[in-house]
């Protein structure tokens, strides 16, 4: 199903067309990696051909840089605008996956994104899921796109 390839393609498209930041993808992390050192996350659910939770996780400086670029202004702290901006990225990445999987006759529906922030938090899935974490880098540092999924 080429999850990593589809995630990288759609993320790069979003950053080049709407955020105007150079972004590069690195090799997916091992599934055992848990602590990503991030301070703000946005997640969105996908259902249909498979069930999934897609998330974007950012350290504070990276979240501020990305949301500032999207809004065209300097942002100094994690606030509602930062969470809203990252929620939109999660929404667009999920939308890109939906479009790409539709070409393989796999239909997906998207939920509405949610976001959280804090100095230390853990996101847990209630069921045993497959997990992909792809690190990306911008000038200000790394961020991560995570996908937990269960094939139906």
Task: Report the residue number, 56 or 94, with the smaller CB distance to another protein.
Answer: 94
As measured in angstroms, the least distance from the Cβ of 99 to another protein is 7
Question: Could you tell me the two tokens for 89?
Answer: 């990225």
Task: Report the residue number, 98 or 148, with the smaller CB distance to another protein.
Answer: 98
As measured in angstroms, the least distance from the Cβ of 122 to another protein is 26
Query: CA neighbours within 13 Å on the CB side: how many for 31?
Result: 8
As measured in angstroms, the least distance from the Cβ of 89 to another protein is 9
Q: Rounded to whole angstroms, how far apart are CA atoms 95 and 103?
A: 13
Task: Report the residue number, 31 or 99, with the smaller CB distance to another protein.
Answer: 99
Task: Report the residue number, 19 or 134, with the smaller CB distance to another protein.
Answer: 19
The strand pair at 130-138 and 24-25 is best described as antiparallel
Binding-site ranges for another protein (CB under 8 A): 13-14, 17-18, 67, 70-72, 80-81, 84-85, 87-88, 91-92, 94-96, 98-99, 102, 110, 112
Produce one character per residue of 133-151: b if its CB has 16 or more CB atoms within 10 Å, e if not: bbbbebebebbbbbbbbee
As measured in angstroms, the least distance from the Cβ of 62 to another protein is 16
Measured torsion, CA atoms of residues 29, 75, 83, 13, in degrees rounded to the nearest 10: -60
């Amino acid at each position: 199903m080429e999850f990593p390839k589809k995630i990288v393609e759609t993320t790069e498209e979003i950053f080049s067309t709407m955020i105007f930041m150079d972004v590069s993808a690195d090799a997916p992390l091992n599934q055992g990696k848990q602590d990503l050192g991030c301070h703000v996350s946005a997640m969105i659910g996908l259902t249909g051909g498979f069930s999934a939770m897609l998330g974007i996780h950012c350290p504070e400086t990276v979240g501020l840089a990305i949301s500032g670029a999207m809004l065209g202004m300097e942002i100094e702290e994690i606030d509602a605008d930062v969470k809203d901006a990252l929620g939109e990225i999660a929404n667009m990445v999920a939308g890109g996956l939906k479009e790409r999987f539709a070409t393989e006759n796999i239909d997906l529906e998207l939920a509405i994104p949610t976001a959280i922030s804090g100095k230390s938090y853990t996101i847990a899935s209630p069921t045993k899921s497959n997990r992909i974490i792809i690190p990306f880098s911008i000038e200000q540092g790394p961020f991560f796109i995570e996908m937990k999924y269960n094939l139906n």
